[in-house]
Structure 1
Amino acid sequence: MTEKLSTEQIKIEKVVVIYSGGMDSFTVLNRALKDGKEVFALSFDYGQRHVKELECASKVCNSLGVKHKVIDISSINQLLAGSSLTDDIDIPEGHYEAENMKSTVVPNRNMILLSLAVGYAVSVGAAQVYYGAHSGDHTIYPDCRPEFVQKMNDVCLIANYESVEIFSPYLTVDKSAILSDGISMGLDYSDTWTCYNGREKACGKCGACEERLEAFSDNNVVDPIEYEA
């Protein structure tokens, strides 16, 4: 006789995936599906410079038949000044480890997005929020570091009557390893956008592009998207 599943076991099958439309969150989304989860994808318009990532996210979710919400929280932009991703500040060029890349930090962004995602998880009965932080972001982004993820997880486990776990499957590995896992899953990255600029083609010069190109080079695979240079 089949053992009856507990409520917690049933809940863990549903997960919310914070899905920006970039290559990292695309891999996270597919990892959740590969893990056998029922995925509720959640994307945010927080007033970023362009919506190309969001367009990619919608296209992918439609093709996969994944439940997808795009939430407009752009009104908070008036509180989150000083980032080149949201303000009229030039996007810096160079590697993520360069000091000038700190201008791409959006104040408290991931704490805000995770809090909203956890609320959504409680409402749909999901016990986990999948989140694409990885080691390549640790230098520049405090809200992608293991200590931040652990503290947020501690809070989210007690913030509601229903515990929600913050799950970062790639927290301790870099973008090359993320891509390697995606390749092993047979993923096509042509419908992902990583560049901080929202032009027709990726610039190939900003930190996001440089790290993406390094990942493809490390895996001996050609990036399927087009670049200006």
Structure 2
Amino acid sequence: MISGRGSNMQALVDAIASRGFDAQVVAVVSDKPEAPGLLWAQRQGLETRVLKPAGYLTREAYDQALAALVERFDPDYVLLAGFMRILSDGFVQQFAGRLVNIHPSLLPAFPGLKTHEQAIATGVQWHGCTVHFVTPVLDGGPIIAQAVVPVLADDTPNVLAQRVLVAEHRLYADVLGWLAAGRVRLSSQGRVIVDAGSPRAYVLPAGHAQSIP
């Protein structure tokens, strides 16, 4: 599910092809007909659908229609890849345990928007991204994996965003592979369990990556 260029969506599609994951993208869904990622998806031969919020009286009504649209494709997982709407509790609960998001910060730090500005303003030395299951708590669901990048003294929000985006593309693709292989599950306490052998955190300094078990 995307709202814009869908660079993470593109990274996931590319990873399926290049890394041989046992996975298929059954559809790309957007709330914006002008989203550039839709054209890219169509050029790859993927099914695309658009459901605009205009015409729905409430967020809940729109999300009910959106959930019905998504369910028609019978997905094992619904991956949010820059879908810029806060989903209602009803939508989240309908896809509980199979709704996954990537957020551009090391949650629980900096939920919401303008994460890179917040990271620079607060003076943190490390920033990054988080892939997590979605719950009704905004950016508060169980964490699957994280990637870490340094914050440099001369960083601007845009420069830092680009560094984080490289980490996002790698991390989300890795998690997709784990999901496709059935290596991720939620415990009865709501914590994520990933089978041994899958590093759940990466440190990515200046063009180099190091995994942390």
The TM-score normalised by the length of structure 2 is: 0.34
Highest RCO, 1 vs 2 (Cα 8 Å, sep ≥ 6): 1
Give the helix-richer structure, 1 or 2. 1
Where is the strand percentage greater, Structure 1 or Structure 2? 2
TM-score (norm. length: structure 1): 0.32
